[in-house]
Amino acid sequence: MTSLATTIEAILYLKGQPLSIGKLAELARCDREDIEEGLIELMDEYAHRDGALEIVETVDGYCLQLKERYRFLVDMLIPLDLGVGALRTLAAIALKGPISQTELVDLRGSGAYQHVQELISQGFVRKRRQSDSRSSLVQVTEKFYQHFEIDQLPELRQKAPQAPSVSDQDLAAEDTDAPLAAPEPEIDSNP
Q: Is pLDDT larger for residue 178 or for residue 6? A: 6
Q: Highest-confidence range of 10-14, 55-59, 67-71, 156-160, by mean pLDDT?
A: 10-14
176 by DSSP, 3-state: which?
coil
pLDDT in tens, 58-85: 888 999 988 888 877 876 676 677 888 8
For 45, residues 6+ apart whose C-beta sits below 8 A from its C-beta are 1, 5
Q: Which domains does the chain have, with CATH numbers?
A: 3-70 (1.10.10.10), 84-172 (1.10.10.10)
Give the mean pLDDT of 108-132.
89
